[in-house]
Structure 1
Amino acid sequence: MRAIPLLALLLSGWFAVPAHADEAQDWLKRLGRAEQQQSYQGTFIYERNGSFSTHDIWHRVQDGQVRERLLQLDGSAQEVVRVDGRTQCVSGSLVAGLGNSPGASAQVLDPQKLNSFYTLAVIGESRVAGRKAVIISLAPRDQYRYGFELHLDRETALPLKSLLINDKGQLLERFQFTQLSTQAPDERDLQPGKDCKPLSVSSQADDVPAAQAWHPSWLPPGFQLVRSTTRKDSRTQAVVNSQMYEDGLARFSLFLEPVSGEAATESRVQLGPTVAVSRRMNTPQGEVVATVVGEIPLGTAERIALSVRSGPAPEKP
């Protein structure tokens, strides 16, 4: 059966069938287990904003530890090595968005939570990289997030293909395997290249900065603060606070930084699915720039940025 366009399903009311939702939740549970338990290696393409890149991936699960290595095959060699979702080293300037590539996220999907903000359904079957797949649709229940279409391997539930789709049914981003093997990669395949440089650890600020007291007074339903970090910029010595929010699938980050003079201006930028909205604010302590970055609709990012207020920071759930 060919994949049914997401927009057509939205209009048809197909998602209202409970059996399809239950089956979709079961597949998402399998997906969550597969990425933490299944070793694999392969090649995938990444499409964004009309451009393509090709990547090799090695993903090995051993003794409860997940190790993986990504290598871009086009142009100059660009690489990232991760252990249990934590980046160990990088080379080059990897294409923005690869943080959501197959196997890249330590995020565990909670189908019951997702069902509150996305309509889940099994919408057909496909064949990707020579393997049979089942197609899962996650259609947003509001205008604050994008829709997803996942093609999961029938044998392992690994994601063979992932599409990010806006409210007009337009494709914003694609991951798609062209070759996949479930054989565990060799140790040598997981070793970083000589140009893969360890990440430097930023020094953490000792005292709580004014920026950390800023937070969005409005969030799309379901989004929660999952991480907040504070560091000192080694060049300017300014204290920068970053906050990550997610709804169990989509994510965005809020960066808060004190500025002076013409150091930063307000902006609205969109590149494919990724948006960056900056707002400059005057405070008794000086000027602060709040920047929202993530794969969310531009209107959502703008509303979040406009809602940023000072006061007690929201507690981490």
Structure 2
Amino acid sequence: MSRFMLKHKLSNFFMQRVVVGLITLVLSCYAQAAEDPWLHLEKASQAARKLSYKGIFLYQNFQDVRSIEITHLNNGEEEFARMVTLDGQPHEALSRGKNMMVFNSNKENVMIQERQGQNLFPAILPPDIESVKAIYTLRFANQERIGGREAQIVYLEPKDQFRYLYKLWLDKEFGLILKMSILDHQQKMIEQASFNQIALFSGQDLNWFKPNVDTHKKYIMNEAPQNKISHEKYCTISNLPAGYKEVSHVTRTMGNQPQLVHHWVFSDGLSFVSLFVNPIPKDQKSRVGETRVGSSHVYARVMNGNQIMVVGAVPQATIQKISNSIQDMKAH
């Protein structure tokens, strides 16, 4: 083989290698572009539940601004969390799995309430992101530093008028939500939470998982709700806003003169709305109308002698539609 032919073959060989390399690079870029962007939300959801971390975040709800310390541990089998307000009257919440104990302190007493945990910051995303995909679109924006860490900004934009816009800052390394802003349809902030310091830890010690006890105060345990009563026997609830599902229903006694109150909670995976229904006593004035308390809308009306009240940090249209979803209410 002549030297010219050998040189020509080597030139073709290297040219082919370059072309193959370029094709591989292009395909790699396409693969990255085609990566499901919702995987970032999946990672954020898992990070808030599986990582062990401790930090302080600032929570703002209209004029209410508080600093809150959170400690969260996952030992591989269960989740434990303790949240303590650092401003004003002491308030604490201890959660183990979905069960939560809340300690609200005043000048004389500490009221203890048992609650079912709702997605609290930074674990605001549901474990199943599929429910969010159906009602929100996902959009990536710039990057910023939050609490000394690099974060990717993403927007969850609602597909209808029944929910607000979420702006999230995701930790680029671990995916944990470092900051959250909820914006209304006019882009005004309704609620915000942001870490100003956060650190991961690997220990399994649970000595911190207990409330600070004030021996000078009386601790009062609120009565647990009565056994659940099926709402089909009392009324029918249908035609809820798209994406909203019933997540709990209890019937309990409330007030100095015990009266039964039916309480439902509905959620679309991000927002939670409470529906209260109770017969109106003869000596009690009914409530009718709409109002706003902080980030929440409240809508009250009367149906067949029953007081209906819907409360939630959601758009007004959502509150009204859930209220109007009640059918076949028993007369009182």
**Aligned partners of 1:224, 1:38: CA distance in 2, in Å?**
28
**Aligned partners of 1:210, 1:111: CA distance in 2, in Å?**
28
Letter in 2 for 1:159: I
Q: Aligned match of 2:104 in 75, 79, 91?
A: 91
What residue in structure 2 maps to residue 80 of structure 1?
93
Q: Aligned match of 1:130 in 118, 126, 148?
A: 148
Deviation digits for residues 221-266 of structure 1 (CA, Å, limit 9, x no counterpart): 1111122112233733322111111112222111111112324412
Letter in 2 for 1:102: F
Q: Aligned match of 1:179 in 173, 197, 204?
A: 197
* Alignment partner of 1:190 is 2:191: no
Change (3 A) 1:58 1:146: same
Return the offset for 1:299: 2.5
Gapped regions of structure 2 (runs ≥ 5): 1-31, 112-116
**Aligned partners of 1:216, 1:270: CA distance in 2, in Å?**
24
* Alignment partner of 1:170 is 2:188: yes
Q: Which has the higher contact order (CA 8 A, sep 6+)?
A: 1
Q: Secondary structure at the match of 1:189?
A: coil
Q: Aligned match of 2:312 in 294, 299, 302?
A: 294
Contact 2:83 2:94 in 1 (8 A): yes
Q: Secondary structure at the match of 2:319?
A: helix
What residue in structure 2 maps to residue 226 of structure 1?
247
* Alignment partner of 1:274 is 2:296: yes
Return the offset for 1:118: 0.6
**Aligned partners of 1:221, 1:89: CA distance in 2, in Å?**
31
Instruction: Give the greater-gyration-radius structure (CA).
Output: 2
Contact 1:41 1:184 in 2 (8 A): no
Return the offset for 1:104: 5.8
**Aligned partners of 1:54, 1:212: CA distance in 2, in Å?**
44
Range 107-116 or range 45-54, more displaced: 107-116
Q: Percent identity?
A: 25
What residue in structure 1 maps to residue 161 of structure 2?
143
Range 221-230 or range 190-199, more displaced: 190-199
What residue in structure 2 maps to residue 214 of structure 1?
235
Letter in 1 for 2:61: R
Change (3 A) 1:137 1:210: closer
Contact 1:69 1:80 in 2 (8 A): yes
Contact 1:24 1:136 in 2 (8 A): no
Letter in 2 for 1:259: I
Please provide the CA RMSD for this pair.
2.9
Change (3 A) 1:21 1:51: farther
TM-score of the superposition, structure 2-length normalised? 0.77
Deviation digits for residues 16-44 of structure 1 (CA, Å, limit 9, x no counterpart): xxx88954310111122112210000000
Range 263-272 or range 253-262, more displaced: 263-272
Q: Secondary structure at the match of 2:47?
A: helix
Change (3 A) 1:72 1:231: same
TM-score of the superposition, structure 1-length normalised? 0.80
- Count residues in correspondence: 286
Q: Aligned match of 2:44 in 28, 31, 54?
A: 31
Range 119-128 or range 37-46, more displaced: 119-128
What residue in structure 2 maps to residue 254 of structure 1?
275
* Alignment partner of 1:154 is 2:161: no
Change (3 A) 1:194 1:303: same
Return the offset for 1:135: 1.3
Change (3 A) 1:116 1:80: same
What residue in structure 2 maps to residue 200 of structure 1?
222
**Aligned partners of 1:250, 1:209: CA distance in 2, in Å?**
23
Q: Secondary structure at the match of 2:207?
A: helix
Q: Secondary structure at the match of 2:163?
A: coil
Letter in 2 for 1:66: E
**Aligned partners of 1:46, 1:215: CA distance in 2, in Å?**
37
Change (3 A) 1:199 1:182: farther
Change (3 A) 1:116 1:198: farther
Contact 1:228 1:241 in 2 (8 A): yes
Return the offset for 1:184: 4.5
